Chain A
Amino acid sequence: MLLMSFDFVGDILMDNFVQIENFGRIAPYGELFVQGIVVTVMLSICTVAIGFILAIILSAMRMSNFYPLAFLGLDKDGHQREKGVGVTIGKFNPLAFLATAYVEILRSTPVIVQVAIIYYGVFGALFKLPSFTFFGFIKFERFFPGVVALGMNSGAYLCEIMRSGIQSIDGGQTEAARSLGMSWFQNMRYIILPQAIKNILPAIANEFVVIIKESAITYTIGVQDIMSAVNAVRGATFIIIEPLLVATAIYFCLCFPTSKLIAHFERRMSRGDKR
């Protein structure tokens, strides 16, 4: 029995894992893969743009000093009181609370669920998207929800990267800047951000590569990216491994140069340090 099952696995490996002639048989579907690459690249660029803007807003919210109820914690001279319910409520920052809640929810749920909720829920039931195609083959009503969902997700991760990068800068820098009379904003703009960006660049680069790979999940809502090309080929020819290998190669060719490119910029930035 045991021997038989080994034979069985062996047969599959030998006869079915990769057959060179299968690449020839899926060649006519090359067009689908080319379209898939365009969709994946477009999807990633739009996601990065949305995620980046969202992350800036979210991290600014999380680090804001917005205490609309702070007056409840002050005594009648305008001094900070020491204890009481008012002090606790006064320390409530609604902006930070909302941003933190957003980040934690988005980070603690699977992307595939988020994509489905955005597609079927938000853009299926709440808003009606116009149905048209651009570039000849990208379906807007599927592409757009995919971008929104991925952008919202990567915004949460990028927010945490930015926040930790900014908070990793020594507090003495802020103290020095503020003691020179700089405002909160000037301190951020001239002192903290230039140092923080240099520190977080590797993490952001990593997130960009993750987005390219994660965009594959949008095939579940019918976005015709590389993964969807694989499925189309499988449906038409019953060949599965070879298209998957093609997809693997394509994703690698997208991600590897991206990370190398960003590593190059990193080196150029640190060259300016003159250490």
Chain B
Amino acid sequence: METRDKIIQVTDLEKHYNFGAIKALDGVTAEIDKGDVVVIIGPSGSGKSTFLRSLNLLEEPTGGAIIFNDIDITKKKYKDENGKWVKVNIDLHRQKMGMVFQHFNLFPHKTIMENMIIAPVKVKKVPVEDAKKKALELLKRVGLEDRADAYPIQLSGGQKQRIAIVRALMMEPEVMLFDEPTSALDPEMVGEVLDVMKQLASEGMTMVVVTHEMGFAREVGNKILFMADGKLLEQGTPEDIFEKPQHPRLQEFLSKVL
């Protein structure tokens, strides 16, 4: 078995609203290794998206820890090796975590090319020409190189989501987070987006995916997390989860969706 290289360690993550009256996340502990394709499944309102969004602090957790590359990013500052307090620069960590949203969130006032190069050029100070070259390569990979000068409004949902994925890849992230990437798509467009994601997984990208596509979870995922009511109720390989579900909530959930 290959050596496990932990990239994200989540410990007792909590997200409470209204002083603990609502517990969106209630003590979730999980780890994500390099090259993992972690798929999070569960009924709606179970905290899947909150968990995913917490990973790059779009939601600020109210308790617990997220250790990303040896730094607890949930804290405002940490002690470095010299014992000095250093502020946690969340922008820096977010550059290493690409995120794909349910509603694509492309920038409507920019062309596809501008959408893709803006972050590398402005944040990483990559020269425009280099960024454009890279963008064209990525666009070619998803078969959209001829739409570089189009505006997002001119694209179909599936095309938009493929652009959103490669836009995130432009920052060369270590982890890709997918927040229900196919939920807002017409059924015939789901396949093209899943294909891109499968390709990405086969190249060894570390991915965390929240999805309702059980076929994708079983085929591509190597670790499935089942969440309900803000708790991580069961986790395991696709075989464990889909063939031998233990928890009654999971059995009930699978009987409904499969």
Task: Tell me how far the C-beta of A202 lies from the nearest C-beta in chain B, rounded to whole angstroms.
Answer: 17
Task: Tell me how far the C-beta of B17 lies from the nearest C-beta in chain A, rounded to whole angstroms.
Answer: 10
Contact B107 A173 (CB under 8 A): yes
Q: Please give, as numbers and ranges, the residues of chain A lying within 8 Å of B177 by CB-CB distance.
A: 179
Q: Does B4 contact A (CB under 8 A)?
A: no
Contact B75 A172 (CB under 8 A): no
Contact A172 B105 (CB under 8 A): yes
Contact B76 A186 (CB under 8 A): no
Contact A78 B123 (CB under 8 A): no
A180→B151 CA distance, assembly (Å): 19
Q: Does A128 contact B (CB under 8 A)?
A: no
Q: Please give, as numbers and ranges, the residues of chain A lying within 8 Å of B98 by CB-CB distance.
A: 179-180
B160-203 interface (Cβ within 8 A of A): 164, 167-168, 171, 177
Contact A173 B122 (CB under 8 A): no
Chain B, Cβ-Cβ closest to A83: B19
B100-119 interface (Cβ within 8 A of A): 101, 103, 105-109, 118-119
Q: Please give, as numbers and ranges, the residues of chain B lying within 8 Å of A186 by CB-CB distance.
A: 122-123
A229→B19 CA distance, assembly (Å): 64
Contact B151 A274 (CB under 8 A): yes
Contact with A along B13-38 (1 / 0, CB 8 A): 00010011000000000000000000
A83→B177 CA distance, assembly (Å): 31
Q: How many residues of chain A are within 8 Å of chain B by beta carbon?
A: 28
A79→B63 CA distance, assembly (Å): 7
Contact B101 A176 (CB under 8 A): yes
Contact A181 B119 (CB under 8 A): yes
Contact B107 A182 (CB under 8 A): no
Within the complex, which residue of B60, B77, B92, B103 is in contact with A181, where a contact is CB–CB below 8 Å?
Answer: B92
Contact B58 A175 (CB under 8 A): yes
Within the complex, which residue of A82, A178, A181, A274 is in contact with B62, where a contact is CB–CB below 8 Å?
Answer: A82
A191→B95 CA distance, assembly (Å): 17
Contact A180 B103 (CB under 8 A): no
Q: Please give, as numbers and ranges, the residues of chain A lying within 8 Å of B19 by CB-CB distance.
A: 82-83
Q: How many residues of chain B are within 8 Å of chain A by beta carbon?
A: 39
Contact A175 B92 (CB under 8 A): no
Contact A195 B109 (CB under 8 A): yes
A161-182 interface (Cβ within 8 A of B): 170, 172-173, 175-182
Q: Does B56 contact A (CB under 8 A)?
A: yes
A175→B49 CA distance, assembly (Å): 14
Contact B91 A182 (CB under 8 A): yes
A212→B22 CA distance, assembly (Å): 52
Contact with B along A229-273 (1 / 0, CB 8 A): 000000000000000000000000000000000000000000001
Contact B118 A190 (CB under 8 A): yes
Contact A198 B109 (CB under 8 A): yes
Contact A181 B123 (CB under 8 A): yes
Q: Please give, as numbers and ranges, the residues of chain A lying within 8 Å of B154 by CB-CB distance.
A: 274
B58-93 interface (Cβ within 8 A of A): 58, 60, 62-63, 74-77, 91-92
Q: Does B128 contact A (CB under 8 A)?
A: no
Task: Tell me how far the C-beta of B72 lies from the nearest C-beta in chain A, rounded to whole angstroms.
Answer: 9
Contact A179 B123 (CB under 8 A): no
Contact A79 B109 (CB under 8 A): no
Q: Does B99 contact A (CB under 8 A)?
A: yes
Q: Please give, as numbers and ranges, the residues of chain B lying within 8 Å of A82 by CB-CB distance.
A: 16, 19-20, 62
Contact with B along A51-82 (1 / 0, CB 8 A): 00000000000000000000000100111101
Q: Does B94 contact A (CB under 8 A)?
A: yes
Task: Known pairs A176-B105, A179-B99; list 13 more (Cβ under 8 Å).
Answer: A78-B76, A78-B77, A79-B74, A83-B20, A176-B99, A176-B107, A180-B94, A180-B168, A181-B92, A181-B123, A182-B123, A186-B123, A195-B107
Which B residues contact A (CB, under 8 angstroms)? Answer: 16, 19-20, 56, 58, 60, 62-63, 74-77, 91-92, 94-95, 97-99, 101, 103, 105-109, 118-119, 122-124, 151, 153-154, 164, 167-168, 171, 177
8 pairs of residues in contact across A and B, judged by CB atoms under 8 Å: A78-B75, A173-B107, A175-B58, A179-B58, A181-B92, A182-B123, A186-B122, A273-B151
